[in-house]
Amino acid sequence: MNRHLLTAALFLPFASSAMAQSGAPTPDSPPVAFPQVTALPTSLASTSGRFSSLNPPRQSTCQNRNVVGRVVSVRLIQLDRFVCLGNEAGLPLENVLMNVRLDDPAEARQMAVGRRVVVEGNFKIAQEPHGGYLVFFLIAEKARLAAGEPLAAPAQASTSYMMCQPPELDALAGQLGRELCVQSTIMADLKTAGPALEAAARALAQNSPEDETSGIACREDRDRSDAHLATMACARSGYWAWWSSKRRLGQNFTKPAPP
């Protein structure tokens, strides 16, 4: 995997050093202080938001001139439907995420969560194999905001996606010796959800029963593991129920991930 292979290469010396000093995580490991981080991950999210990649393979150009969607983050919009025009094998994709690479970074101020916008740019679709099934990525490059609803106060997220190795979790990941992929709405409220996230992550690392009261469950993420570090995915229980159906039905399951 492009994203986590690069992450692992950069992160491995730090993780190895942390584990050498403190050994395997123990129940009395000190709580982690989650720092404030302003840098955003640069990886691309898959159409469902479950996977990420720095440079997904099998990229094809679409002839679409614009798309209409709702803002999920400064780099993601959610489309009701998308067909890659000019791609003979193009199938309609419903309720999907598209990565937006703004040509003018100043337009990020216009990407208010929940706002409906029209995006122009150069559109691509990519495919990446994952254990017998294909994961799709949609990308808008040199993107421009052509129109949008009036700006309003940020709305609550209507969907979520997994964020892999966010900088805020470097300290925790170092103690666990794992890469971490965490649901975006947990990361957005890390001050409140952080203790439950940490407890769930440590419980899995210590092979302890999951704490059902926290509402957050962590799993070994074999779809993302590599030769260097194992990966752990943490999300709310509702997300895991959604992913169970999504994995079974694939693109036929069009319900977006719950917040």
> What is the C-alpha separation between 8 and 29, in angstroms, rounded?
23
* Angstrom distance (rounded) from CA 162 to CA 220: 14
Q: What is the mean pLDDT of residues 158-178?
A: 92
Q: What is the pLDDT of residue 165?
A: 86
Q: Residue 127 class from Cβ within 10 Å (0-12 exposed, 13-18 middle, 19+ buried)?
A: middle
CATH architecture of the domain with residue range 45-148: Beta Barrel (2.40)
**210, 189 contact by CB (below 8 A):** no
Q: What is the mean pLDDT of the chain?
A: 82
Q: Report whether 71 contacts 111 (CB < 8 A).
A: yes
Q: Would you kindly state where each structural domain of the chain is located, as residue ranges?
A: 2-42+160-252, 45-148
Pairing of strands 179-183, 231-236: parallel
Helix (H) or strand (E) holding 82: strand 76-82
What b/e readout covers 140-174, taking b as 16+ CB neighbours within 10 angstroms? beebebeebeeeeeeeebebbbbbbbbebbbebbb
pLDDT score at 15? 37
Q: pTM for this one? A: 0.80
pLDDT tens profile 88-145: 667 789 999 999 999 999 999 999 999 999 999 999 999 888 766 788 999 999 999 9
